[in-house]
Amino acid sequence: MHHQYKLNGYNIVLDTCSGAVHLVDDVAYDIIGLYQDHTPEEITGIILEKYPDRADVTREDIAACIEDVTALKEHNQLFTPDTYEPIAGEYKNRSNVVKALCLHVAHTCNLNCSYCFASQGKYHGERALMTYEVGKQAIDFLVAHSGTRRNLEVDFFGGEPLMNWEVVKQLVAYARSIEQEKGKNFRFTLTTNGVLLDDEVTEFCNREMHNVVLSLDGRKEVHDRFRKDYAGRGSYDVVVPKFQRFVEKRGDKSYYIRGTFTHYNTDFTNDIFHMADLGFTELSMEPVVCDPSDPCALTREDLPVLYEQYEILAKEMLRRHREGRPFTFYHYILDLKNGPCIYKRITGCGSGTEYMAVTPWGELFPCHQFVGEQAYSLGNIWDGVTNTAVQEEFRSCNAYSRPECKDCWARLYCSGGCAANSFHATGSIKGVYEYGCELFKKRIECAIMLQAALSAEE
């Protein structure tokens, strides 16, 4: 299978199964489009008719191009058959390790964002803080189930994790104390709204946290629309200077300024550019996922607007890159040369198997987005996974488990997508969140254009 599209003056051809990317001219673009359903003679006729006055489009030129396409096919760089399906399930079945936990250290929040999927940090339950003992047991659970995996990820999440900061620090210290003995390398991440960010937190995070995710929605009026405190005051003026100070001290360690856009700011590129203009360079902006009846939900009518926005974003990133003031957009990060292997691409998200979320009470859920969905409770950190039926359902999710993905060119870029998005959109983790697919495909097209353009300029 292949996919071809035109964007920003580039004609791009993707070969789904080899991952090859080709930049082609108009003639080759048309020939590739015709190649599988037409004979060489038919292709030649169609091309000559389409380009009647071009000195460089002769029978010989067309024949040479058809030969080139054939060579690409023979070398598995175009129209490569999909032979991966048999190993998709096998790989995930073989792996029985846990390598990442999301610790919900605080089911409470000092902001009252109305669009919060976690219901102001409470996940539709009680407010609670994780104790050190629960957190320590979670880390022990992770180590005990991680097999020979060396890199283990622990995310401090909430609610707002800085509301339980002392426990976060104690848990980092505990994990570091057993790292060498257990042969592990912990990578910590903190996601914060920034309200409690101070010099002490900054210093600790810059020393210990592999990544820090800072929540900012963009322009002041956009950010303050949802991200308010309990008195109804917007948090932009409080958090932006803190984030700027934090990032200034961060050096070259990873961080993301991460926002959510909704139906109210479908011109979200202006929010991304605003973040960049504030001096931030590592940016992420996510479409809101919520009940379709919610006024902030993205609509079908928004889709063309969002497509255009993603194109504007890619073009502007290219422009700023050329001007020597680049920024990174999470969804446009594609390392075409050193990206994930085929196993990663067919296996997809490890939620429910390699990755789980832990509530303040030590209960296990397949991921942070399932916390509070009692039917998806997997067990707890003392007894392990006891709801094996649900875990098996997650284990069987891969790039081939949804019939809708079979004819999709993007399946090896998304691996079948997010189980939580599928669940929230369709009621089943094996469903397909079509709206998300449409946005995803557009983002990948833009990301590849961006990478191809940069590559072509090198």
Partner 1 sequence: MERIKTIETRNLCESVCSGGCGECQTSCQSACKTSCGVANQPCENQNRK
Kindly indicate which of the ranges 10-18, 40-48, 267-275, 296-304 contains the residues binding partner 1, using the contact rule CB under 8 A.
10-18
447 in contact with partner 1 (CB under 8 A) = yes
The Cα–Cα gap between 276 and 330 comes to 13
Which residues within the stretch 349-368 sit at the binding site for partner 1 (CB under 8 A)?
349-351, 354-355, 367-368
Kindly indicate which of the ranges 119-127, 240-248, 318-326, 432-440 contains the residues binding partner 1, using the contact rule CB under 8 A.
432-440
44 in contact with partner 1 (CB under 8 A) = no
77 in contact with partner 1 (CB under 8 A) = yes
- In this structure, the dihedral spanned by the alpha carbons of residues 31, 37, 38 and 43, taken in order and rounded to 10 degrees, is -20
- The helix or strand, by DSSP H or E, that contains position 272, with its residue range, turns out to be helix 269-277
Which residues within the stretch 156-215 sit at the binding site for partner 1 (CB under 8 A)?
157, 187, 189, 191, 210-211, 213
Question: Per-residue string for binding with partner 1, 272-311, x by CB under 8 A?
Answer: ------------x-x--x----------------------
User: Strand, coil or helix: what is 341?
Assistant: coil
- Residue-wise DSSP of 128-166: EE--HHHHHHHHHHHHHT-TT--EEEEEEEES-GGGGHH
Asked whether 204 and 250 are in contact (CB, 8 A), the reply is no
Kindly indicate which of the ranges 121-129, 195-203, 269-277, 436-444 contains the residues binding partner 1, using the contact rule CB under 8 A.
436-444
Which residues within the stretch 90-119 sit at the binding site for partner 1 (CB under 8 A)?
91, 95, 97, 99-100, 102
Q: Is the dihedral of CA 451, 346, 400, 84 positive or negative?
A: positive
Question: Per-residue string for binding with partner 1, 307-346, x by CB under 8 A?
Answer: -----------------------xxxxxxxxxxxxxxxx-
Residue from 76, 137, 396, 401 in contact with partner 1 (CB under 8 A) = 76
The Cα–Cα gap between 191 and 158 comes to 8
398 in contact with partner 1 (CB under 8 A) = no
Q: Give 351's contacts (C-beta < 8 A, 6+ positions apart).
A: 366, 367, 370, 394, 419, 420
In the bound state with partner 1, the residue whose beta carbon lies nearer, of 28 and 139, is 28
In the bound state with partner 1, the residue whose beta carbon lies nearer, of 44 and 369, is 369
Which residues within the stretch 239-258 sit at the binding site for partner 1 (CB under 8 A)?
256, 258
63 in contact with partner 1 (CB under 8 A) = no
Contacts of 296-299 with CB under 8 Å at 24 or more apart are: 296/115, 296/226, 296/262, 296/263, 296/264, 297/262, 297/263, 298/262, 298/263, 298/266, 298/435, 299/263
Q: Give 279's contacts (C-beta < 8 A, 6+ positions apart).
A: 244, 247, 248
Residue from 135, 218, 360, 417 in contact with partner 1 (CB under 8 A) = 417
